[in-house]
Amino acid sequence: MKTIIPFLFLLTSQFVAIAQTQEQKIQEFEMQRQAAEKLAYNQLLDSAIQLSQSGEYLQADAQFRQLLRSAKSVPSDLVYYFGENSFHLGNFKQSVDWLNKYIQLKGTTGQYSAQAVERLKSAEEGLMKERLVESRQAGQVLSQDYDIDCGPSGKVTCPVCKGSTVIIKKGYVSDTYKTCPYCNKLGYLQCEDYNLLLKGQLEPSNTNP
């Protein structure tokens, strides 16, 4: 009996040691796997950035989207570069969304904050021009050569903000809101302004945030 107890203790110790060794191996394997994934992710991000900076915007976009699909949380560098690349593709709404998100994350202290602010201005101008084109197209359907009768009320729900007085920009993480620059926080346009908008001649207000 005296010889059995030490033997059992030794056997138990060996089992514990083996279990600990296996657990350590699993942990080491997981750490190596995560390191390999991070390396591959960073390499793909570097590749996408280089493509974008070389003017290969479509190829860069494909790689940026691949990174977004695989990311558990999106790093700020990807947020900025995806917004920048989207601008060069003429996807101004997407560019405004992502550049806004970068500025929200980093404020004025981020590595790319200055570039993001400048590019955001250009993207917003591009987006506004797109909306004016849409207004002109609406005007062409209704005939730009004639004023539209708005009915007895003499006013029409603002087609830009759809009466909400704000323009909502859908974001990847959250939405951003901007006061409609056309309806003066009323949600509607007087008939004269409505016809000017349809013809692309209504100037946006400069007092909106």
In a domain, 122, yes or no: yes
In a domain, 49, yes or no: yes
Decide: pTM greater than 0.85.
no
DSSP string, 160-190: TTTTSSEEEE--SSS-EEEE-SSSTTSSEEE
CATH code at position 139: 1.25.40.10
In a domain, 43, yes or no: yes
In a domain, 168, yes or no: no
In a domain, 15, yes or no: yes
Q: Measure the CA–CA gap between 135 and 124, rounded to whole angstroms.
A: 16
The answer to whether residue 98 scores a pLDDT higher than 70 is yes
Residue 143's pLDDT is what?
A: 45
In a domain, 121, yes or no: yes
In a domain, 195, yes or no: no
Number of domains comprising the chain: 1
Domain that holds residue 22: 4-146
Q: Do residues 84 and 95 lie in contact, with contact meaning Cβ atoms separated by under 8 Å?
A: yes
Provide mean pLDDT across the span 132-147.
Answer: 62
In a domain, 200, yes or no: no
| Per-residue pLDDT tens over the stretch 55-96 | 999 999 999 999 888 877 788 888 899 999 999 999 999 999
Q: Measure the CA–CA gap between 45 and 56, rounded to whole angstroms.
A: 14
